[in-house]
Each structure stands twice: as C-alpha cells, then as structure tokens.
Amino acid sequence: MNNRIKIVGISGSLRKRSFNSALLREAVKLAPEKVEIEILDISQIPLYNQDLENNGNQAVLILKNKIKAADAVLFVSPEYNYSVSGVLKNAIDCASRPYGDNSFEGKPVAIMGASIGMLGTTRMQYHLRQMSVFLDMKPINRPEVMVGLAEEKFDAEGNLTDEKTKRKIKELIESLVVWTKSLRI
C-alpha cells in the first residue's frame, strides 16, 4: 500500500488577498510528512453549461483529471449569501459532470473556511456537506475549521498569525489523512 497521500486543495475565492486562499497555503505548509497538497486553480473554469459539458474544455479536463488522480480533496471557501461561493459551486458542477463522470465520487473530503464575520463559514460548510451526499464525497466530520473574524488572524501580507487556527488546520489535515487511509481498505 502506498503511504503517500496526495490531496488537491481548492479555494472558493478568486480574490487576490483572500483569507481562504491564505488558509489553503497554510495547509500546504502544515501538511505532515508524506502528504502533498496541490492547490488547483479554478480561475479559468468556464461557467457551467450542460450544452457544452462534452466539449473538452482544457481547464475543466485538467481539473477533473487532477481530482481523479488525488487521494483526497480539501475545500477552503468563503461563505456568500449563506452558502458556497458561486465560483466554487461552478467548479464542482463542472468537475462532477457529465452524469456518470463525477470526479469527486468516493473521494475523502475536508472542508474549512474563513470569514470576516463571527460564524466563520458555518452555513457554507453545511451546504457543501449537503452537496457531498449527492456527489458521493466522503467528508470528515471533525475537526471543524471555521475561522471567524479572519482579518484579526492574518498579517498585512496574508500570513496566518493565529496559532490556535494553525493547530486546527494541522489537526484537520491529519484527520483527513487518517480518514483517507481508512477508506483505502
């Protein structure tokens, strides 16, 4: 059995100074030995259109192939309008279609997010968990990493400075690794 774990990380924010993209970069730094987290770029994914889902768009094919090749997925996203960001929802739609070619099927998943509000992406995470049911993703339940009041936890360069949040991210990645290995059996 291969002991290396390959995780793909997807940020649901395209904003240059995104707290969520910064959380994802921190996860890369905090990943345990023998764990690689590759950050996937979803900025070039076109808007989902079922009429075009079989047209072989290069950005979508790359996204789908990287997800399929990974052992697990890490979603890091803001919360917009009590739910997942539109850009993340669109990327998930593109990577899970056409019917019968769902890149996420059976994938272990971890979710985290940051928000300037106090609730720290709770509703987004629950909506993403609901989507996981239909897509047959296998999300871990704990720990929950919901970073509220994010502007207080990052410096001006976008580096995470909050040690408690760093510990929770590390715990989340370690839990995802254990979950991923248990599903390989």
- Mean of the per-residue pLDDT values for the chain? 94
Q: Could you say which DSSP state residue 80 is in?
A: E
Phi, psi of 15 (to 5 degrees): -60, 135
Chain segment 58-75, per-residue pLDDT in tens: 999 999 999 999 999 999
Name the domain count of the chain.
1
For the cut 70, the answer to whether the pLDDT of residue 1 exceeds it is no
From first CA to last CA, the distance across the chain in angstroms is 10
Provide the pLDDT for residue 2.
63
Structural contact between residues 141 and 176, judged by C-beta atoms closer than 8 angstroms: no
CATH of the domain at 29: 3.40.50.360
Pairwise CA distance, residues 40 & 170, whole Å: 20
**Residue, of 54 and 82, whose pLDDT is higher:** 82
Average pLDDT over residues 124-140: 96
pTM score, two decimals?
Answer: 0.95
E strand residue ranges, the chain: 5-11, 35-40, 72-76, 79-80, 83-84, 108-114, 138-139, 145-147
pLDDT at 53: 84
Distance CA 26, CA 10 (A): 13
What pLDDT digit, counting tens, does each position of 38-61 carry? Answer: 999 999 999 999 988 888 889 999
Domain of residue 64: give its range. 5-183
The contacts of residue 64 (CB under 8 Å, 6+ apart) are 94, 95, 101, 103
What residues have CB less than 8 Å from 45, skipping those under 6 apart? Answer: 59, 60, 63, 87, 90, 91, 94
